[in-house]
Amino acid sequence: MTAAARKEELKNLLERLNSGQAAEEVKKEAQELIESISAKELSEAEQELINEGLDEKELRHLCTAHIEAMAEELKELKTNVPVGHPLSTLIAEHEEILKILDRLDQVNSEIQTLESYDAENPVFEELKELGAKLLDTEKHHTREEETLFPEVDKSGVTGPTRIMRMEHDDLWPHKEKISELAEKAGEIDFDKFKKELKEHTEYVVVTLRDHIFKENNILYPTAKDVIEESKWEEIKAQSDQIGYCGFTPEAEINN
């Protein structure tokens, strides 16, 4: 099957999945096809659907087969970019952000078991630290939006970047709210505090984990395919200018 034929078949499957035809046989069909298609071809097929009028929000909820089948792309990408390359840095930051999310999930679970606020309980100080780290992830998103995304867009593949920008915008108020709750934990009715913390934490943990998965396995491999080698030095210089997160590995910054 030619690349063009694969893309046409994938577009058809995506349309069927997004119209609610998520029966097991359709998912299985999608899994088999996605395993034979590159991240670039996948992004191009999604772009054509958007150009034809599909609401890009629909592409945020593709079946898990779409994501799982892309997992090998990340392994291959990591072996093909040196430490200090903008993509290597973004992937390394994702690994740190996932650790932050794991800890945030645990801290929220621990707080949900408490009956009252206790300033002496270290869990509340840790929540403050995690809230600050969540706000610090904005430097990561800014570098993506100002250096990486425009170069991907120039190739004509704008679907993935538009979806990622939309998710960045959706995540920000929830991250801000977690930080605000952490700072004011002792001043708020404790039941209200727990309810709001649970709501915002669950949103951020689920959405940001999924977001990272899509960037690692779809957007970044696509970027590696469509951005000219000569451009990466410029992207690195622009990234240095914007700055890095407090948790960005030193080796990535200094290479």
Q: What is the pLDDT of residue 104?
A: 96
CA–CA gap between residue 34 and residue 46 (Å, rounded): 12
Report the SS3 class of residue 184: coil
Q: What is the pLDDT of residue 70?
A: 58
pLDDT tens for the 255 residues of the chain, in order: 676 776 677 777 766 766 665 556 666 676 677 666 666 676 677 667 767 776 666 655 454 445 555 566 677 788 888 999 999 999 999 999 999 999 999 999 999 999 999 999 999 999 999 999 999 999 999 999 999 999 999 988 888 898 899 999 999 999 999 999 999 999 999 999 999 999 999 999 989 998 998 899 888 988 998 999 999 999 999 999 999 999 999 999 987
Determine the angle formed by the axes of helices 232-242 and 86-112, rounding to 10 degrees: 40
Q: Which string of b and e fits 59-74 if b means at least 16 CB within 10 Å?
A: bbebbebbbebbeebb
Residues whose CB is less than 8 angstroms from the CB of residue 94 and which lie 6 or more positions away in sequence, other chains included: 212, 215, 216
The pTM is what? 0.77
Q: Which string of b and e fits 29-51 if b means at least 16 CB within 10 Å?
A: bbbebbeebebbbbbbbbbbbbe
Q: What token pair was written down for 140?
A: 């990561």
Query: What are the counts of helices (DSSP H) followed by strands (DSSP E) for the chain?
Result: 13, 0
Find, among 9, 58, 59, 3, the residue nearest to 33 by Cα: 9
Domain with CATH 1.20.120.520 in the chain: 82-252
Q: What token pair was written down for 231?
A: 């451009």
**One-character DSSP codes across 114-134:** -SS--TT-HHHHHHHHHHHHH
CA–CA gap between residue 28 and residue 31 (Å, rounded): 5
Report the SS3 class of residue 109: helix
Q: What is the pLDDT of residue 235?
A: 96
Q: What is the pLDDT of residue 23?
A: 57
Find, among 77, 79, 110, the residue nearest to 201 by Cα: 110
Q: What is the pLDDT of residue 227?
A: 94
Q: What is the pLDDT of residue 76?
A: 78
Q: What is the pLDDT of residue 61?
A: 45
Residue written as token pair 């700072």: 183
Question: E strand or H helix at 178, and its extent?
Answer: helix 159-183
Q: Which fold has domain 82-252?
A: Four Helix Bundle (Hemerythrin (Met), subunit A) (1.20.120)
